Amino acid sequence: MVALVTGAQQGIGRACALALAGAGHDVAVNWLDDEEAAEAVAAGIRAAGRRALLVRGDVGTAAGCAAIVAAAMAGLGPPDVLVNNAGIFPRIPFLEMAEAEWDRVLDVNLKGSAFCAQAVARALVAAGKPGCIINLASAAVRGTPVGVHYSATKNGVVGITRSMALALAEHRIRVNAIAPGLTDTAQPRYGNTEEELAAMGAAVPLGRMGRPEDIAGLAAFLASDAAEWITGQVYHINGGSYMP
Protein backbone atom coordinates (compact mmCIF):
# COMPACT_ATOMS: atom_id res chain seq x y z
CA MET A 1 0.00 0.00 0.00
CA VAL A 2 1.18 3.50 -0.90
CA ALA A 3 0.10 6.84 0.51
CA LEU A 4 0.86 10.40 -0.60
CA VAL A 5 0.54 13.14 2.02
CA THR A 6 0.84 16.75 0.89
CA GLY A 7 2.31 19.32 3.24
CA ALA A 8 3.73 16.47 5.31
CA GLN A 9 6.80 18.19 6.72
CA GLN A 10 5.05 19.24 9.92
CA GLY A 11 1.85 19.33 11.94
CA ILE A 12 -1.17 17.32 10.86
CA GLY A 13 0.51 16.22 7.63
CA ARG A 14 3.46 14.81 9.55
CA ALA A 15 1.17 12.96 11.96
CA CYS A 16 -0.87 11.52 9.08
CA ALA A 17 2.27 10.30 7.30
CA LEU A 18 3.50 8.53 10.42
CA ALA A 19 0.08 7.06 11.22
CA LEU A 20 -0.28 5.68 7.71
CA ALA A 21 3.21 4.17 7.91
CA GLY A 22 2.19 2.53 11.17
CA ALA A 23 -0.84 1.10 9.38
CA GLY A 24 1.36 -0.49 6.73
CA HIS A 25 1.67 2.12 4.01
CA ASP A 26 4.78 3.26 2.20
CA VAL A 27 4.56 7.05 2.20
CA ALA A 28 5.48 9.81 -0.24
CA VAL A 29 6.20 12.89 1.89
CA ASN A 30 5.43 16.09 0.02
CA TRP A 31 7.24 19.13 1.36
CA LEU A 32 7.97 22.67 0.22
CA ASP A 33 10.38 24.69 2.35
CA ASP A 34 11.90 22.64 5.20
CA GLU A 35 13.93 19.68 3.96
CA GLU A 36 15.33 18.88 7.40
CA ALA A 37 11.83 18.51 8.84
CA ALA A 38 10.77 16.38 5.88
CA GLU A 39 13.80 14.14 6.34
CA ALA A 40 12.82 13.64 9.99
CA VAL A 41 9.34 12.52 8.91
CA ALA A 42 10.89 10.12 6.39
CA ALA A 43 13.12 8.71 9.14
CA GLY A 44 10.06 8.03 11.28
CA ILE A 45 8.37 6.23 8.40
CA ARG A 46 11.45 4.07 7.83
CA ALA A 47 11.64 3.33 11.55
CA ALA A 48 8.15 1.86 11.20
CA GLY A 49 9.51 -0.52 8.57
CA ARG A 50 8.04 1.24 5.55
CA ARG A 51 9.53 2.96 2.53
CA ALA A 52 9.61 6.76 2.46
CA LEU A 53 10.05 9.10 -0.50
CA LEU A 54 10.60 12.85 -0.26
CA VAL A 55 8.74 14.79 -2.94
CA ARG A 56 9.33 18.51 -3.01
CA GLY A 57 6.66 20.53 -4.76
CA ASP A 58 4.07 23.31 -4.62
CA VAL A 59 0.43 22.24 -4.92
CA GLY A 60 -0.62 25.75 -5.96
CA THR A 61 -0.75 24.89 -9.68
CA ALA A 62 -2.25 21.99 -11.58
CA ALA A 63 1.16 21.31 -13.11
CA GLY A 64 2.73 21.23 -9.67
CA CYS A 65 0.12 18.74 -8.45
CA ALA A 66 0.70 16.51 -11.47
CA ALA A 67 4.46 16.60 -10.91
CA ILE A 68 4.11 15.65 -7.25
CA VAL A 69 1.88 12.69 -8.04
CA ALA A 70 4.13 11.60 -10.92
CA ALA A 71 7.17 11.65 -8.63
CA ALA A 72 5.33 9.60 -6.00
CA MET A 73 4.31 7.06 -8.63
CA ALA A 74 7.82 6.80 -10.02
CA GLY A 75 9.31 6.19 -6.60
CA LEU A 76 6.68 4.07 -4.87
CA GLY A 77 3.91 3.23 -7.34
CA PRO A 78 0.37 4.62 -7.69
CA PRO A 79 -0.87 5.95 -4.32
CA ASP A 80 -3.78 4.00 -2.85
CA VAL A 81 -4.30 6.87 -0.42
CA LEU A 82 -4.03 10.64 -0.86
CA VAL A 83 -4.17 13.01 2.10
CA ASN A 84 -4.72 16.54 0.82
CA ASN A 85 -3.24 18.34 3.80
CA ALA A 86 -1.17 21.19 2.32
CA GLY A 87 -2.70 24.56 3.14
CA ILE A 88 -1.99 28.13 4.13
CA PHE A 89 -3.83 30.58 6.38
CA PRO A 90 -2.40 34.10 6.17
CA ARG A 91 -4.55 36.16 8.54
CA ILE A 92 -5.79 39.41 7.05
CA PRO A 93 -8.81 41.65 7.75
CA PHE A 94 -11.37 41.39 4.97
CA LEU A 95 -11.31 45.12 4.16
CA GLU A 96 -7.54 44.95 3.60
CA MET A 97 -7.49 41.80 1.46
CA ALA A 98 -5.83 42.09 -1.95
CA GLU A 99 -6.66 40.00 -5.00
CA ALA A 100 -3.24 38.35 -4.99
CA GLU A 101 -3.74 37.19 -1.39
CA TRP A 102 -7.15 35.75 -2.24
CA ASP A 103 -5.76 33.98 -5.30
CA ARG A 104 -2.81 32.40 -3.50
CA VAL A 105 -4.95 30.92 -0.72
CA LEU A 106 -7.47 29.53 -3.20
CA ASP A 107 -4.68 28.14 -5.38
CA VAL A 108 -3.01 26.21 -2.55
CA ASN A 109 -5.97 25.17 -0.43
CA LEU A 110 -8.67 24.50 -2.99
CA LYS A 111 -7.15 24.11 -6.43
CA GLY A 112 -4.31 22.06 -4.96
CA SER A 113 -6.73 19.65 -3.31
CA ALA A 114 -8.78 19.27 -6.48
CA PHE A 115 -5.90 18.69 -8.88
CA CYS A 116 -3.88 16.42 -6.59
CA ALA A 117 -7.04 14.35 -6.23
CA GLN A 118 -7.57 14.35 -9.99
CA ALA A 119 -4.02 13.18 -10.67
CA VAL A 120 -4.22 10.38 -8.10
CA ALA A 121 -7.68 9.32 -9.27
CA ARG A 122 -6.50 9.15 -12.88
CA ALA A 123 -3.62 6.90 -11.85
CA LEU A 124 -5.91 4.62 -9.85
CA VAL A 125 -8.44 4.35 -12.67
CA ALA A 126 -5.67 3.56 -15.16
CA ALA A 127 -4.37 0.83 -12.83
CA GLY A 128 -7.87 -0.52 -12.13
CA LYS A 129 -7.34 -0.06 -8.40
CA PRO A 130 -9.63 1.25 -5.65
CA GLY A 131 -8.40 4.07 -3.46
CA CYS A 132 -9.08 6.66 -0.81
CA ILE A 133 -8.80 10.44 -0.87
CA ILE A 134 -8.89 12.38 2.39
CA ASN A 135 -9.26 16.16 2.21
CA LEU A 136 -8.46 18.45 5.13
CA ALA A 137 -11.24 20.95 5.67
CA SER A 138 -11.43 23.02 8.87
CA ALA A 139 -13.71 24.25 11.62
CA ALA A 140 -13.30 27.55 9.72
CA VAL A 141 -16.24 26.44 7.57
CA ARG A 142 -18.24 28.39 10.17
CA GLY A 143 -16.26 31.54 9.33
CA THR A 144 -13.36 33.58 10.66
CA PRO A 145 -13.11 37.38 10.47
CA VAL A 146 -9.44 37.41 9.45
CA GLY A 147 -9.71 34.52 7.03
CA VAL A 148 -12.49 35.12 4.51
CA HIS A 149 -10.27 33.63 1.82
CA TYR A 150 -9.37 30.66 4.04
CA SER A 151 -12.99 29.99 4.98
CA ALA A 152 -13.94 30.13 1.31
CA THR A 153 -11.40 27.43 0.51
CA LYS A 154 -12.40 25.15 3.35
CA ASN A 155 -16.09 25.40 2.48
CA GLY A 156 -14.97 24.65 -1.06
CA VAL A 157 -13.11 21.57 0.16
CA VAL A 158 -16.35 20.29 1.67
CA GLY A 159 -18.10 20.84 -1.66
CA ILE A 160 -15.48 19.13 -3.81
CA THR A 161 -15.32 16.24 -1.33
CA ARG A 162 -19.01 15.47 -1.84
CA SER A 163 -18.88 15.97 -5.60
CA MET A 164 -15.71 13.93 -6.07
CA ALA A 165 -17.19 11.16 -3.94
CA LEU A 166 -20.07 10.93 -6.40
CA ALA A 167 -17.84 11.25 -9.46
CA LEU A 168 -15.40 8.56 -8.33
CA ALA A 169 -17.69 6.06 -6.63
CA GLU A 170 -18.01 3.94 -9.78
CA HIS A 171 -14.23 3.52 -9.71
CA ARG A 172 -14.28 2.41 -6.04
CA ILE A 173 -12.40 5.54 -5.00
CA ARG A 174 -13.73 6.91 -1.71
CA VAL A 175 -13.48 10.61 -0.85
CA ASN A 176 -13.98 12.01 2.64
CA ALA A 177 -12.99 15.14 4.56
CA ILE A 178 -11.72 15.83 8.05
CA ALA A 179 -12.44 19.24 9.58
CA PRO A 180 -10.12 19.84 12.56
CA GLY A 181 -10.79 22.43 15.18
CA LEU A 182 -8.07 24.21 17.17
CA THR A 183 -5.05 21.92 16.86
CA ASP A 184 -1.60 22.26 18.40
CA THR A 185 0.42 23.03 15.27
CA ALA A 186 2.37 26.00 13.94
CA GLN A 187 -0.78 27.48 12.43
CA PRO A 188 -2.57 28.73 15.59
CA ARG A 189 0.71 30.15 16.87
CA TYR A 190 0.64 32.64 14.02
CA GLY A 191 -0.61 35.77 15.77
CA ASN A 192 -1.32 34.18 19.19
CA THR A 193 0.78 34.06 22.35
CA GLU A 194 1.19 30.88 24.38
CA GLU A 195 -1.07 32.40 27.03
CA GLU A 196 -3.76 33.09 24.44
CA LEU A 197 -3.44 29.56 23.09
CA ALA A 198 -3.81 28.14 26.59
CA ALA A 199 -6.99 30.14 27.10
CA MET A 200 -8.34 29.01 23.73
CA GLY A 201 -7.62 25.40 24.61
CA ALA A 202 -9.28 25.75 28.01
CA ALA A 203 -12.43 27.05 26.30
CA VAL A 204 -12.80 23.82 24.30
CA PRO A 205 -15.44 21.59 26.00
CA LEU A 206 -12.95 18.72 26.29
CA GLY A 207 -10.47 21.14 27.88
CA ARG A 208 -7.53 21.23 25.47
CA MET A 209 -6.36 21.93 21.97
CA GLY A 210 -6.36 19.01 19.61
CA ARG A 211 -3.16 17.15 18.84
CA PRO A 212 -2.08 16.29 15.30
CA GLU A 213 -2.34 12.62 16.29
CA ASP A 214 -6.06 13.12 17.03
CA ILE A 215 -6.57 13.97 13.38
CA ALA A 216 -4.17 11.35 12.05
CA GLY A 217 -6.00 8.53 13.84
CA LEU A 218 -9.16 9.26 11.86
CA ALA A 219 -7.19 9.57 8.62
CA ALA A 220 -5.69 6.12 9.17
CA PHE A 221 -9.14 4.70 9.84
CA LEU A 222 -10.65 6.28 6.70
CA ALA A 223 -7.78 4.81 4.68
CA SER A 224 -8.41 1.32 6.04
CA ASP A 225 -10.66 -1.49 4.84
CA ALA A 226 -12.83 -0.88 7.90
CA ALA A 227 -14.06 2.30 6.18
CA GLU A 228 -14.75 0.73 2.79
CA TRP A 229 -18.44 1.82 2.83
CA ILE A 230 -17.76 5.42 3.86
CA THR A 231 -17.59 8.15 1.24
CA GLY A 232 -18.71 11.75 0.83
CA GLN A 233 -18.58 12.46 4.56
CA VAL A 234 -17.15 15.37 6.58
CA TYR A 235 -15.84 14.53 10.05
CA HIS A 236 -15.49 17.34 12.59
CA ILE A 237 -12.80 16.75 15.22
CA ASN A 238 -12.73 19.68 17.61
CA GLY A 239 -13.24 18.58 21.21
CA GLY A 240 -16.88 19.70 21.09
CA SER A 241 -16.20 23.33 20.23
CA TYR A 242 -18.28 23.17 17.06
CA MET A 243 -21.23 20.86 16.53
CA PRO A 244 -22.69 21.31 13.04
Residues involved in catalysis: 150
Task: Give the list of residues 6+ apart from residue 58 with CB closer than 8 angstroms, or none.
Answer: 32, 64, 108
Contact 27, 5 (CB under 8 A): yes
Cβ atoms within 10 Å of 18's Cβ, excluding its own: 24
DSSP assignment of 84-103: E---------GGG--HHHHH
**Checking phi first, is residue 235 left (phi over 0); if not, alpha (psi -120 to 50) or beta?**
beta
> Residue 101's Cα: distance from chain center in Å?
21
- E-assigned strands of the chain? 2-5, 26-31, 52-56, 81-84, 131-136, 173-180, 234-237
Instruction: Say how far apart CA 20 and CA 1 lie, in whole Å.
Output: 10
